[in-house]
């Protein structure tokens, strides 16, 4: 099947099998390694990408379901050398530990901050709820995002 995907602002024409998950296409065909394969059940959040402005799991959903969609991964967040404010906030707070979950968390946070520049603490927690961090870095991540939203 021939797909047309717009990923991080670039159009790609890719031939894939009908059931190949989007995460495999992003990682293996396009080399976008921020998309992680965690649980493989759409439950941990490490595979999330932004699709037409909304965070979506990519580990199970077939790439064919995203034909013609606009997809953003962490690789596309920075503008040249300037990191996105979410990336800057997390880096400044040294919020990551192992970092495996962090790209999915950044996806959720960027989508939230794109919708509203000053989300409430509750909004931030709700946006991060589907993300599993096994290292225990959530308190630092939440503090960094709270500060970015002006709550710190």
Q: Is residue 152 over pLDDT 80?
A: no
Q: What is the pLDDT of residue 97?
A: 84
- For the domain made up of 85-148, give the CATH fold: DNA polymerase; domain 1 (1.10.150)
Average pLDDT across the chain, whole number: 95
Q: What is the pLDDT of residue 46?
A: 95
**pLDDT grade, residue 98 (50/70/90)?**
confident
Of 13-17, 126-130, 134-138, the one with minimum mean pLDDT is 134-138
Domain ranges of the chain: 2-76, 85-148
Q: What is the pLDDT of residue 100?
A: 86
- For the domain made up of 2-76, give the CATH fold: Ubiquitin-like (UB roll) (3.10.20)
DSSP assignment of 63-101, as one string? GGGGTT-EEE-GGGTSBTTB--HHHHHHHHTT--SS-TT
* Helix pair angle (102-115, 138-148), 10° resolution: 20
Q: Is residue 3 over pLDDT 70?
A: yes
Mean pLDDT of 21-43: 95
Mean pLDDT of 119-126: 97
Two tokens, residue 76: 């596309």
Hey, what's the torsion of the CAs at 85, 114, 128, 75, to 10 degrees?
Answer: -60
């Amino acid at each position: 099947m021939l797909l047309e995907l717009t990923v991080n602002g670039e159009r790609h024409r890719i031939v894939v099998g009908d059931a190949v998950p989007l995460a495999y296409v992003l990682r293996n065909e396009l080399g976008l390694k921020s998309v992680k394969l965690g649980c493989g059940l759409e439950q941990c959040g490490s595979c999330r990408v932004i699709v037409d402005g909304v965070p979506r799991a990519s580990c199970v959903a077939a790439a064919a379901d995203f034909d013609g969609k606009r997809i953003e991964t962490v690789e596309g967040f920075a503008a040249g050398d300037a990191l996105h404010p979410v990336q800057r906030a997390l880096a400044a707070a040294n919020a990551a530990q192992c970092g495996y979950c962090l790209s999915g968390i950044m996806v959720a946070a960027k989508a939230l901050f794109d919708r509203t520049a000053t989300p409430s603490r509750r909004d931030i927690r709700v946006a991060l709820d589907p993300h599993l961090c096994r290292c225990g870095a959530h308190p630092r991540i939440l503090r960094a995002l709270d500060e970015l939203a002006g709550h710190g």
